[in-house]
Amino acid sequence: MRDIDIAEVAELSGVRASTLRFYEEKGLIASHGRRGLRRLFDPAVLDRLALIALGRASGFTLDEIGRMFAPDGRPRIDRKMLATKADELDRTIRRLNAMRDGLRHAAVCPAPSHMECPTFRRLLRVAAAGKMEAPKKTKKSRRKS
Amino acid sequence: MRDIDIAEVAELSGVRASTLRFYEEKGLIASHGRRGLRRLFDPAVLDRLALIALGRASGFTLDEIGRMFAPDGRPRIDRKMLATKADELDRTIRRLNAMRDGLRHAAVCPAPSHMECPTFRRLLRVAAAGKMEAPKKTKKSRRKS
DNA sequence: TCTTGACCTCAAGTTCACTTGAACTGGCAG
DNA sequence: CTGCCAGTTCAAGTGAACTTGAGGTCAAGA
């Protein structure tokens, strides 16, 4: 079993065929030939997809991820970039921690209205001051048509 | 100084005028009249904007935030929803923590290639398995034309 | 009074990461 | 041989949250 077709890649990776085609178009992955019309991929594409998932999960855009692969296809990951992104994640995490605590408090706060709760108002100030970025909504269960 | 105009709101809140108009169109805020063409806002709009910033920072969409205001305009925040969102944030935070640790490791990993580093490969598996959502890119410094 | 500049409206454009639709192709089961 | 069906292409659509552009208006300063 040298090459696997797009359906198998989709199955094994959990990435939709349409997404795989999209990634190929973007140059993030490459198919290795065809059986009829069907793309054939080297099983190593699975590592590649994992790498892409990692990049995405870490906040890189697809374009940035694309730039992380040398022209020859081998990942050429800049360690400094990783450290930078790790620091960025760290700040994000701190921010979200504050948010979570605030929400948690607001959820049980006995003040008649949130606007009358000092903790809530403090949270508000943090949110307003931070010019913070919303974490993208987690879209669960995007399978089936 | 009863009402403030859109420029002042923008200045005080850090939210662009175009965004304020957009929010008004969406029903998230309301202007209270006009001086000529210029919208006038009640200073309370600043609290409202802080509330919106908080919601966004916590991962709510603008539509969801809109639904948090009763028709009369007073915030009617569902405490259960807050708790749910807090839990969601918690999961996100855990995920990002793992990512950050992984990146941090990859940044200093002595393996000749990341693909040969067991820790990196483990991180890859986590990322691939998680079907995780990328945290939106933090766009810094979007001011000036 | 006239000019200016900030604001106005409305429609369309932007970015990101995909998904969907229409029309078509071709390997394989029957 | 014939259909089926899962694949293919290409263009266009989606959704979230805004931003931008064109063309218009008006309060205030010179």
Residue A26, pLDDT > 90, answer yes
Nucleotide C25: closest residue by CA–C1': A37
Question: Which residues in A lie closer than 8 A to residue B75 (C-beta atoms)?
Answer: 113-115
Tell me the nearest-neighbour CA distance from A34 into chain B, angstroms: 26
Smallest Cβ distance to B50: which of A58, A103, A124? A124
Which run of H or of E encompasses B5?
strand B4-5
Nucleotide C7: closest residue by CA–C1': B38
Give the pLDDT of residue B40. Answer: 97
B5 and B41 Cβ atoms separated by less than 8 Å: yes
Which run of H or of E encompasses A10?
helix A6-13
Dist. CA B85–CA B79, nearest whole Å: 10
Mean pLDDT for chain A overall: 84
Dist. CA B82–CA A79, nearest whole Å: 38
Question: Which residues in B lie closer than 8 A to residue A62 (C-beta atoms)?
Answer: none
CATH of B4-67, one of 1.10.8.100, 1.10.1660.10, 1.10.260.40, 3.40.50.150: 1.10.1660.10
Give the pLDDT of residue B140. Answer: 40
Residue A11, pLDDT > 60, answer yes
B139: left (phi over 0), alpha (psi -120 to 50) or beta: beta
Give the pLDDT of residue B109. Answer: 82
- Helix A6-13, helix A17-26: angle, nearest 10: 100
Question: Which residues in B lie closer than 8 A to residue A134 (C-beta atoms)?
Answer: 56-60, 136
Calculate what percentage of chain B has a pLDDT beyond 70. 88
On strand D, nucleotides with any atom < 7 Å from a protein CB are 6-9, 16-20, 24-28
Of A20-34, A58-72, B9-23, B42-56, give the lowest mean pLDDT range.
Answer: A58-72
User: For residue B127, what pLDDT band results from cuts at 50, 70 and 90?
Assistant: confident
Dist. CA B60–CA B67, nearest whole Å: 10
Domain(s) of CATH 1.10.1660.10: residues in chain A: 4-67
Give the pLDDT of residue B18. Answer: 97
Indicate the DSSP class of residue A132: P
pLDDT in tens, B91-110: 888 888 888 888 888 888 87
| B62-87 mean pLDDT | 85
Looking at chain B from residue 22 to 61, which residues have their Cβ under 8 Å from any Cβ of chain A?
46-47, 49-51, 53-54, 56-61
Residue B131, pLDDT > 60, answer no
For chain A, the residue count is 145
According to DSSP H, which parts of chain B are helical? 6-13, 17-26, 45-57, 62-67, 79-108, 118-130
More confident residue, A29 or A84: A29
Please, which residues have CB within 8 angstroms of residue A119's CB and are 6 or more apart in sequence?
A: A102, A105, A106, A109
Check CB contact under 8 Å for A115 and B47: yes
Question: Which residues in B lie closer than 8 A to residue A108 (C-beta atoms)?
Answer: 79, 83
Looking at chain A from residue 74 to 133, which residues have their Cβ under 8 Å from any Cβ of chain B?
74-75, 77, 79-80, 82-83, 85-86, 88-90, 92-93, 95-97, 99-100, 102-104, 106-108, 113-115, 123-125, 127-128, 130-133
Nucleotide nearest the Cα atom of B38 (by C1'): C7
Q: Which of the given ranges, A9-13, A94-98, B123-127, B128-132, has the highest pLDDT on average?
A: A9-13
pLDDT in tens, A82-127: 888 899 888 888 888 888 888 888 888 877 778 888 888 888 887 8
Mean pLDDT for chain B overall: 84
A145 CA to centre of own chain: 22
